[in-house]
A and B are shown apart, each in its own frame.
Chain A
Amino acid sequence: MTAEKQILICEGTGCKSSKSHEIREKLSLLIDEKGLEDEVSVSFTGCHGFCAQGPLVIVKPEGTLYCKVKLENAEEIIESHIINNTPVEELFYHDPKTGLKIEKYEEIEFYEKQKRILLANCGQINPEVIEEYIETGGYSGLRKALAMKPIEVIEVIKESGLRGRGGAGFPTGLKWEFCYKAPGDVKYVICNADEGDPGAFMDRSILEADPHSVLEGMLIGGYAIGASHGVIYVRAEYPLAIIRFKKAVEDAMKHGFLGENVLDSGFSFHLKIQEGAGAFVCGEETALMASVEGKRGMPRPRPPYPAIEGLWGKPTNINNVKSWAAAAWIFKHDVKSFREIGVEKSPGTAIFSLTGKVKNSGLIEVPMGTTLREIIFGIGGGIIEDREFKAVQTGGPSGGCLPESKLDLPVDFDSLQAAGSIMGSGGMVVADEDTCMVDLAKYFLSFTQKESCGKCTPCREGTLRALEILERITSGDAELSDIDDLEQLSKIIKDTSLCALGQTAPNPVLSTIKYFRDEYEEHITEKRCRARVCADLMHYQIDPELCIKCGICAKVCPVSAIPGSKETGYHIETRICTRCAMCYTRCPKDAIFKFPGAGEQ
């Protein structure tokens, strides 16, 4: 790279939706206008993971990070930073803990405490330029692998201790070995990029920001297993990931990494990109394969496992995006470096999308074994407005909720499972005192209930009945025995469902009952939602001290539940109020408050 400075604009889905590409075009134009094109290059990258702060612009080599950049800031960045060497302080990251402005992204706590290996290239290279990937050592892992015998490649993965990043944590090397040993001439490898958990976007980010790492992993896997065909199954809702991956495939073909006789090794590998059709259940491997075959995406019983009878009835190895990328990383580096990260039984890193009531939300990568506390209070910067931490939900709709007592739990496959949650796809939602645990369970269950494919009885029928019980609890129509019924039903759904969707759907319910049973009971016996979330079990009141009698609340109330006048003041008729929160959000003085309990009826 001849240019002295690089301006990198994030064009991941998040920043791009905030029109970051227009900012890039403007910056380019300005550089051209000023005749700086030889000294400064303008390029784009994939996601940095710090989406809440987007659109993001990085200026290298100094590593200045600009947050929440707007189109009109472009001129200033060029004038002040590029021409006059004075970084624009206004656009620096604002640390919510200290209130300080921080210029360099490595110094931001959010990045400082991460260990980015799979996300290392994310935000740092242009995903559409294969040379940039190659410059970071890309495809050197493939060369190493091709110089080995397939079984030796599998041995390396086995030694690395890599476990499936799709959530279940099955040893990847073992899985490859099963497929390698399965009889058959035709075999397939599949990359599962049907990331469907609400709020999870780590696979998307990798595909958008570093597609070649996934491709390289699949090539290594295909070579090891003896598959000459691969399929990547990507959600159709990820159009940018699909475009970037297509580009990566084209470029890899041109460079001889993909296609017939890869790098003159005699090994051939062809890859098909298959768009999903919008069903969450297609993230389940047998449903995914059915979908690839053009059938209805419905799971089938295992055994036979895909390693024996997979796509088109042939031995097939399916891994998640992150697993493939990790395999490429291991070959690019070595087993020892990988095992140095993380813990003995779960080496390497874990990627989470940290969201909820936390100060810094975004995509993070940490060594396995990092504690929940380090993640939430370190990287996440603690709870918004320093409110009380209540729980953390990991693993998305298949996962569970853990209370404060589990904050020092090291995050890895086994300890999370032992505590009643799972690693899952990597969702991490932080709840505070304003989060109702029954409502949270209801939210996740309503997701899985809607996404149930409908094939097996417990998932199809059971999740709806469980959801109906939760609805009764949150509306104050339940009896105490409903909790036992809910628990029993949940256990049986887990124990009898056909696929992982049903087997894990009750986890949010069971874990919240386990750790927050008192909240459930309170809903039933006291008809009270302490987090003031469940509409039927909370009410609003106007604080007469703060009220300025402006009458806005009365005006916006759609059911005329706020009688009064500018002279006498206003009060809320709880009996009529529908808890729509119009008054609460519109009050100019924040004089309306939520209270637990249904209020006087």
Chain B
Amino acid sequence: MTDEDKITITVNGKEIECNKGDTYFEAINKHHIGIPTLCHDPELKPSGACRICVIEIEGARSLMPACSTPVNPGAVVHTNSERVREARQTIVELLLTSHPLNCIVCEKSGACKLQQLAYAYVPEERLSKYIGERPKSSLSEKNEFFVLNYEACIRCGLCVRVVDEIQICGVLSLENRGFDIYPSAGFGRTFEEAGCVACGNCVAVCPVGALVSNSSKGAGRAYDLKKIKTTCVYCGVGCQLDLVYNTETNKIAYVNSNRENVVNGLALCVKGRYGWDFVNHPDRIDTPLIKKNGEFVEATWEEALDLIEQKLKQIKQESGPNALAFLSSAKCTNEENYLMQKLSRAAIGTNNVDHCARLCHASTVTGLARAFGSGAMTNSISDLVNDSEVIFVIGSNTTEAHPVIGIKIKQAIVNEKSKLIVADPRRIELADFSEIYLQQRPGSDVALINAMMKVILEEDLYDEAFINSRTEGFEEFKKGLENTALDILCKVANVSVEDVKKAARLYANAKSASIVYSMGITQHTTGTDNVLSLANLAMLTGNIGRPGTGVNPLRGQNNVQGACDLGALPNVYPGYQSVEDAKIREKFAKSWGVSELDDKIGLTVVEIMNAAHEGTIRGIYIMGENPALSDPNLNHVREALDKVEFLVVQDLFLTETAKYADVVLPGVSFAEKDGTYTNTERRVQRVRRALEHVGNRRDDWMILQEMLNRFGISKKYSHPSEIMDEIASVSPIYAGISFDRIEKTGLQWPCKDKNHEGTKILHQEQFSRGKGKFHPISYIDPAELPDADYPLILTTGRILYHFHTGEMTRRSKGLHERRPVERSQVNSKDAKKLGIKDGDKIIIESRRGKVTTIARVTDKIQEGVVFMSFHFKESAANLLTIDSLDPLAKIPEFKVCAVKISK
């Protein structure tokens, strides 16, 4: 901001400096001169509807709304003159006349803006000055998550604007006109019928008690509640939220976004806002359990830890450290993951430590590390949606799996900042916002991307300067592409040549184009190839290292990025430092106070299960993971868990996996712990404790510390922040991170030292590996293709209302009520052939198992393909999936296997 952009105005007799283009509200508010608002929100375009913010501007014909009027140089304004106060008083009186004065029982009492304004502006004797007609109240909207109490609605329009400008779902509009106006889903529909995804962002902005979350009813008055800023526990977006909780009952009352953030703004999704009932759920384990004669019995911590110590030591002694394996958790904090791999490596002496990133983004880590040298999202959420001329979404059902990034992409499209290309085997919501939609056959991504690159090469749309200066291996890559003709590639992918050409041109001609992908790309036997192909595409067009460009994997779990960063992987220490590098080993050995560390790469998740099945792994310690539901070919996994000699599970619930355990340890949830998560854009953010521990539960980091101590690693931490300090000392990408520095806003790694501001965009001057490397990739078929016996392709994924194995979401009332059972998508033509109607019970069977589910007949999925989510243990999709692995990343092919359907 230069001096030219500064202007001066006089407010209540005092001169203040402000920025050109500011509204009076923005300019004056900075100086702590109170201007009340009802319909204003800094993230929404000003609407000027409620008129409570009117101010007197000398020379203006009437009072002007501060929220929408831009400052004029030299303006003389009054925010508290007699005229202004009278106007505000009348406006509040008018609103009160149409509003029930039932504050004494209203949920919003104490937090209601109208109540505050009445207190400030209306003398008691005027309270019932106006009498007359009240808005009609026969309407109602009640759903699993919130109610709209029309009687209390002050018709400020905020809910409608949030729907229009933030959520972009078109659910709400104002119905009728004049005094009869009200927010409505239209045509007499319920919100859900109109397409409401229950994000509750409308509830969050409602200034009065009109839109109220079911959960907050009776949970406490504003003065009974405290709030704490923390990070959402669901996907990798890392939304910042306020847990609002009642200290008396030790329960969460409701959740709102914390507005001091750079990630999500006011938005949250349905899981973030309503998916926390599991925290106070009666199913939570309160005390350690030891299995005796096939039954769990309650035990003391001493008994449980003694038994673990004894068994692990015994197995190590008898079969060596590599007979033990550790599964860390993408749901746990960075500090806990760090201690878990430390336990595995330093205390036991094995690199057999892995976690479920193996099942989601292992191919990202392998692929991007090979191409660029660093396996993470290259750019940031904000620049992706603010600076991209074109966004290419492939294999990511963003609006369901990463809803807040999904709405940001929608915003970029609707605000005409970006154009969208979508490639997905299913017609996902984003397809409706796209310029070009490509419905490729599952597993054909390499063919599709190669086809696009062929067009770019043939039409000379590639960035030669970038290729020459920043990359290597181009010629070989180019030669590789010459082998197959464009039309054959398009045929393999089952997309039209014309559409591929359009997509290629749109992507390549953009000044800045970013690629967004997720598990549709990674969960294949060719997952690494898919990722490498996307890296090729970005390098070919020079779309990397600048704002609005890049290759951007969206990480699936709240801390899957962090769990990888902190070395819960069998080949690297924290900060992606190789276990095969002697110097690195020496550094860690020294830091951890051990004489030597294992120099061999350990086993991955699926390999651990296979080894357990074979008997070479005798003991497994699992923290916060549920392989008995999340892994492919479940029957095999369950056999392995059954077979393994000693199994420890540290979790919140007696999960499918915990049922196989010998010892179960009760950990704590995100609402009960301190620490950090690292989100998908590499941002390390704080998790803060709100609730007291119930029963005999213990902090996970304390359990791990206790285990470390028992194995001779004597270091004691008084708080998770000290663990982070240790992380910073051994991991260069986290070197500058400490709890103090991320108190307000998280930092993005690499963060090299305590003064470094973090890194928004990777590979700006040069790639992490020096030069970006092209890899020639040829299309390979998925491991299992449909045949006469199993004629359909099964592809799996998430749905909006549930998460992972459903341990948390299915224990959240609203989410469970909204989607209590699996509904598997079957194409309408296939359904017709099979004689299946929407809602029919069906059996889906593969070579590995069969499940019963309910059919959702739709054209959103292509012919010959079936979609199942993996959230429901009653219809466990992974009984069907195949455990064929990508040879490099060892990720299983969740996205393609052959099945048949019967009734």
Closest chain B CB from A168 CB (angstroms): 11
In the complex, whether A275 has a CB less than 8 A from a CB of chain B is no
User: Nearest B residue to A503 by beta-carbon distance?
Assistant: B62
Shortest Cβ distance from A479 into chain B, in angstroms? Answer: 12
Please give me the residue from chain A that is nearest to B83 by CB atom.
A495
Contact of A497 among B51, B52, B132 (CB under 8 A): B51
> Cβ of B70 < 8 Å from any Cβ of A?
yes
Q: Which residues 125-169 in B have Cβ within 8 Å of A in the complex? A: 129-133, 154-155, 157
Specify which chain B residues have a CB less than 8 angstroms from the CB of A468 in the assembled complex. 130-133
Residues of chain A within 8 A of B94, CB atoms compared: 457-458, 461-462, 465
> Are the C-beta atoms of B155 and A460 separated by less than 8 Å?
yes
Contact A452 B179 (CB under 8 A): yes
The residue that B48 contacts in the complex, of A453, A489, A492, A498, with Cβ under 8 A, is A498
Asked whether B48 lies within 8 Å of A279 as measured between CB atoms, the reply is no
Q: B174 contacts A496, CB within 8 Å?
A: no
> Which residues from chain A contact B69 at a C-beta distance below 8 Å?
301, 303
What is the bound-complex CA distance between A503 and B94, given in angstroms? Answer: 16
From the candidates B48, B70, B97, B177, name the one contacting A456 in the complex (CB within 8 A). Answer: B48
Which residues of the partner chain B approach A454 to less than 8 Å between Cβ atoms?
155, 174, 176-181
Least distance between B414 CB and chain A CB atoms (Å): 13
Q: Within 8 Å of chain B (Cβ to Cβ): is A48?
A: no
**Chain A nearest CB, measured from B97 CB (Å):** 6
Q: Is A346 an interface residue (CB 8 A)?
A: no
The answer to whether A464 and B173 touch across the interface, beta carbons within 8 angstroms, is no
Return chain A residues, CB-CB under 8 Å to B46: 301
Residues on B with beta carbons closer than 8 Å to the beta carbon of A492:
86-87, 90-91
> Cα distance A464–B130 when bound, in Å?
11
A468 to B47, CA, bound (A): 28
B572-598 residues at the A interface, CB under 8 angstroms: none
B65 near A: Cβ within 8 Å? yes
Q: Is A575 an interface residue (CB 8 A)?
A: no
Chain A residues whose C-beta falls within 8 Å of the C-beta of B181 in the assembled complex: 453-455, 460
Interface contact A465-B62, CB-CB below 8 Å: no
A496 close to B179 (CB less than 8 A): no
**Which parts of B25-78 form the interface with A (CB within 8 Å)?**
46-52, 54, 62-63, 65, 68-70
The answer to whether the Cβ of A101 comes within 8 Å of any Cβ in the partner chain is no
With A465-B97, A496-B87, A496-B91 in contact, do A460 and B51 touch (Cβ < 8 Å)? no
The A-contacting residues of B in range 73-110, CB under 8 angstroms, are: 83, 86-87, 90-91, 94-95, 97-98
In the complex, how many residues of chain A place their beta carbon closer than 8 angstroms to a beta carbon of chain B? 34
In the bound complex, what is the Cα–Cα distance between A452 and B48 (angstroms)?
15
By a CB distance below 8 angstroms, the chain A residues around B86 are 488, 492
Known: A494-B62, A495-B83. A464 touches B51 (CB 8 A): no
A134: min CB distance to chain B, Å: 43
Give Cα distance in the complex from A497 to B133, angstroms: 21
A458 touches B91 (CB 8 A): yes
Taking a contact as CB atoms under 8 Å apart, the answer to whether B178 and A460 are in contact is yes
List A contacts of B178 (CB < 8 A).
449-454, 460, 463-464
Looking at A298, A301, A449, A457, the one whose CB has the most chain B CB atoms below 10 A away is A457
Residues of B within 8 A of A494 (CB): 62
Docked Cα-Cα span, A489 to B126, in Å, equals: 13
The answer to whether B63 and A496 have CB atoms under 8 Å apart is yes
Asked if residues A495 and B177 are in contact (CB atoms below 8 Å), the reply is no
Given A450-B178, A492-B90, residue A457 in contact with residue B62 (CB < 8 A): no
Whether B179 and A461, one on each chain, are in contact in the complex, defined by CB atoms closer than 8 angstroms, is yes
Closest to A498 in B: B48
What's the minimum C-beta distance from B155 to chain A, rounded to whole angstroms?
A: 7
Partner of B51, one of A279, A452, A457: A457
Distance (Å) between the CB of B71 and the closest chain A CB? 11
A496 and B54 in contact, given A301-B48, A453-B178 (Cβ under 8 angstroms): yes
Secondary structure dominating the interface of B: loop
A455 touches B157 (CB 8 A): yes
CB atoms of A464 and B155 under 8 A apart: no
Find out whether the CB atom of B179 lies under 8 angstroms from the CB atom of A495.
Answer: no
Mask: chain A, 455-484; 1 = CB below 8 Å from B; 0 = not: 111101111110010000000000000000
Out of A296, A303, A460, which one reaches B70, CB within 8 Å?
A: A303
Which chain A residue lies CB-closest to B38? Answer: A457
**A496 and B70 within 8 A (CB):** no
User: Which residue on B lies nearest to A471, using beta carbons?
Assistant: B132
Question: Judging by beta carbons under 8 Å apart, are A495 and B87 in contact?
Answer: yes
- SS class, residues of chain A in contact with chain B: helix
The smallest C-beta distance from B162 to any residue of chain A, in angstroms, reads 16
The answer for the CA separation of A33 and B797 in the assembled complex, in Å, is 83
- In the complex, A279 Cα to B174 Cα: how many Å? 14
Bound complex: CA A496 to CA B54 (Å): 7
Binary interface profile of B, 168-201, with partner A (CB < 8 Å = 1, else 0)?
Answer: 0000011011111100000000000000000000
Q: Does A143 sit at the interface, judged by CB under 8 A?
A: no
What is the bound-complex CA distance between A488 and B126, given in angstroms?
A: 14
Give min CB distance, A216 to chain B, whole Å: 34
In B447-494, the 8 Å CB interface with A consists of none
Min Cβ gap B126→A in Å is 10
Determine whether the beta carbon of A495 is less than 8 Å from that of B63.
yes
Most buried by A among B90, B129, B155: B90
In the bound complex, do residue A300 and residue B47 qualify as a contact, i.e. CB atoms below 8 Å apart?
Answer: yes
| Beta-carbon nearest neighbor of B72 in chain A | A303
Q: Contacts of A455 on B, CB cut-off 8 Å?
A: 47, 49, 157, 174, 181
CB distance from A391 to the nearest CB of B (A): 26
CA distance A485 to B93 in the complex (A): 12
Are the CB atoms of A452 and B177 closer together than 8 Å? yes
* CB neighbours of B65 from chain A (8 A): 301, 498
- Residues of A contacting B62 with CB < 8 Å? 494-497, 503
A338 to B46, CA, bound (A): 42
Chain B contacts for A453, CB-based, 8 A = 177-178, 181
Task: Please indicate the chain A residues that have their CB under 8 angstroms from the CB of B130 in the complex.
Answer: 465, 468
Which residues of the partner chain A approach B49 to less than 8 Å between Cβ atoms? 455-457, 498
Is B50 a contact of A461 with CB atoms below 8 Å? no
Q: In angstroms, how far is the closest chain B Cβ from the Cβ of A306? A: 15
Q: How does the 8 Å CB contact mask read for A498-540 relative to B, with 1 for contact and 0 for none?
A: 1000010000000000000000000000000000000000000
Residues of A with C-beta under 8 A to B180? 454
Alpha-carbon distance A497/B178, docked complex (angstroms): 13
Hey, which chain B residues are within 8 Å of A303, CB to CB?
Answer: 69-70
> What is the CA–CA distance of A78 and B69 in the complex, to the nearest angstrom?
66
Candidate in B62, B94, B95 with the most chain A CB atoms within 10 angstroms: B94
Closest Cβ of chain A to B761, distance in Å, is 30
B306 to chain A, nearest CB (A): 69
Q: Closest residue of chain B to A467, judged by CB?
A: B132
Q: Which residues of chain B are within 8 angstroms of A489 by Cβ–Cβ distance?
A: 90
Cβ of B838 to closest chain A Cβ, rounded Å: 33
B177 touches A279 (CB 8 A): yes
Q: Find residues 269-283 in chain A having any chain B CB closer than 8 Å to their own CB.
A: 279, 281
Q: Which of A249-287 contact B (CB under 8 A)?
A: 279, 281
Question: In the complex, what residues of B have CB within 8 A of residue A461's CB?
Answer: 94-95, 97-98, 179
Residues on A with C-beta less than 8 A from B174 are 296, 298, 454-455
Q: Return the chain B residue nearest A313 by Cβ.
A: B416
Q: Which residues of B contact A460 (CB under 8 A)?
A: 155, 178-179, 181
Contacts of A452 in B (CB 8 A): 177-179
Contact pick for A498, options B51, B70, B133, CB 8 Å: B51
Least CB distance, B316 to chain A, in whole angstroms: 69
Q: 13 more A-B contacts (CB under 8 A) besides A454-B180, A460-B181, A496-B62?
A: A301-B47, A452-B177, A457-B49, A461-B94, A461-B97, A465-B132, A468-B132, A485-B129, A492-B91, A495-B54, A496-B54, A497-B62, A498-B51
B: residues with CB less than 8 A from A are: 46-52, 54, 62-63, 65, 68-70, 83, 86-87, 90-91, 94-95, 97-98, 129-133, 154-155, 157, 173-174, 176-181
Q: Which 8 A-B pairs have the closest CB atoms?
A: A454-B181, A301-B48, A461-B94, A301-B68, A452-B178, A468-B132, A492-B90, A496-B51
Sample of 9 A–B contacts (CB below 8 Å)? A303-B70, A450-B178, A454-B176, A454-B180, A455-B157, A463-B178, A464-B132, A488-B90, A496-B51
